[in-house]
Homo-oligomer: A and B are copies of this chain.
Amino acid sequence: MQLGLVGLGKMGFNMRERLRAHGHEVIGYDPRPEVTDTPSLGDLAAALTAPRVVWVMVPAGDITRDTITSLRDVLEEGDLVIDGGNSRFTDDRMNADLLAEKGIGYIDAGVSGGVWGLKNGYGLMVGGSEADVERAIPIFDALRPEGERADGFVHAGPVGAGHYSKMVHNGIEYGLMQAYAEGYELLEAEDLVQDVHGVLRAWSQGTVVRSWLLDLLVQALAQDPEFREISGYTEDSGEGRWTVEEAIRHAVPAPVISAALFARFASRQEDSPAMKAVSALRNQFGGHAVKRATTEETLRAPDPKK
């Protein structure tokens, strides 16, 4: 079928390629002339046959909102917009309402798979009406992995359910990565274990901890043994935070996912204000030596007799 695709970055570019390989007609729009198929959103709308389906694959937040607002202007009643970005699920209701004013449908689609999706297919979680989802099924079938539809695609519920599911997916992902990471660090710390890379690789088949993330970890270590080339400074991209906020809203204990999130926060600090406070306290009550911020000298404990 025919699809408009707005946003041809790391994800959108690959998705266009995969969709075309599956026989769909994709007209892509991106502000960068070297990748776009059409000069403007207006031209995109004009090039598509009504009723249109347009997939939005741009950064979450303001850019998604602006794109959807612009699409509302150039699309018509009966068209359908799919937001495939990592939008917060609370944005979906607003986006859907904005489009509904003109009779345009809306689906939120959580998309997982990263740069590997082109080859392996993308895991898809979507939210929207039965009719809207039905209409876009050929697109979903092309994007998702081969095999049974239910193994790589779900219509999770009404508008918002797709991004909610993707958000939780990413929260879990934080926890999984941190679990492997802690185990990796412990193996590295123990002299008995002389082949850490080999141990991780041996877990690839047969073990309880085998997973795609483990495969990637093995591959990363093959490329950069002992991670000499990489720093521990780790970004977080929003969905881990939202997951913990949702856990709080629902009073769901989330010690693992939050610990993984906080480890990323800590990884970005040159020095921790909290730990300065702890260190200062130890010095106050115990006269314990502390490390000076700039030198190796230690501060003297206070004299309680004064």
Q: Are B176 and A179 in touch, CB under 8 angstroms?
A: yes
CA distance A127 to B202 in the complex (A): 13
Contacts of A158 in B (CB 8 A): 192, 194
Confirm or deny: A103 has a beta carbon within 8 angstroms of a beta carbon on chain B: no
Q: Are B209 and A173 in touch, CB under 8 angstroms?
A: yes
Interface residues of A in 279-297 (CB under 8 A from B): 279-288, 290-293
Interface residues of A in 239-265 (CB under 8 A from B): 241, 243-248, 250-265
Of A27-35, A36-44, A62-70, A270-278, the one with at least 4 CB within 8 A of chain B? A270-278
Residue of B nearest to A204 (CB): B151
Confirm or deny: A97 has a beta carbon within 8 angstroms of a beta carbon on chain B: no
Contacts of A302 in B (CB 8 A): 115, 219, 223
Contacts of A160 in B (CB 8 A): 192
Confirm or deny: A217 has a beta carbon within 8 angstroms of a beta carbon on chain B: yes
Of A46-54, A77-85, A131-139, A225-233, the one with at least 4 CB within 8 A of chain B? A225-233
Q: Are A256 and B220 in touch, CB under 8 angstroms?
A: no
Confirm or deny: A102 has a beta carbon within 8 angstroms of a beta carbon on chain B: no
Contacts of A279 in B (CB 8 A): 230-234, 267
Confirm or deny: A235 has a beta carbon within 8 angstroms of a beta carbon on chain B: yes
Q: Which of B150, B202, B232, B287 lies in contact with A274, CB distance below 8 A?
A: B232
Q: Are A194 and B259 in touch, CB under 8 angstroms?
A: no
Confirm or deny: A123 has a beta carbon within 8 angstroms of a beta carbon on chain B: yes
Residue of B nearest to A251 (CB): B265
Q: Are B183 and A169 in touch, CB under 8 angstroms?
A: yes
The distance from the CB of A67 to the nearest CB of chain B, in whole angstroms, is: 21
Q: List 25 A-B contacts (CB under 8 A).
A: A112-B203, A112-B207, A113-B207, A115-B302, A123-B203, A144-B206, A156-B194, A157-B193, A158-B194, A164-B187, A165-B193, A176-B209, A181-B273, A181-B277, A184-B274, A185-B277, A188-B273, A208-B285, A217-B280, A230-B290, A230-B292, A231-B290, A232-B274, A234-B275, A251-B265
Cβ-closest 10 pairs across A and B: A175-B179, A211-B211, A232-B275, A123-B207, A154-B202, A181-B274, A112-B207, A255-B259, A157-B194, A123-B206
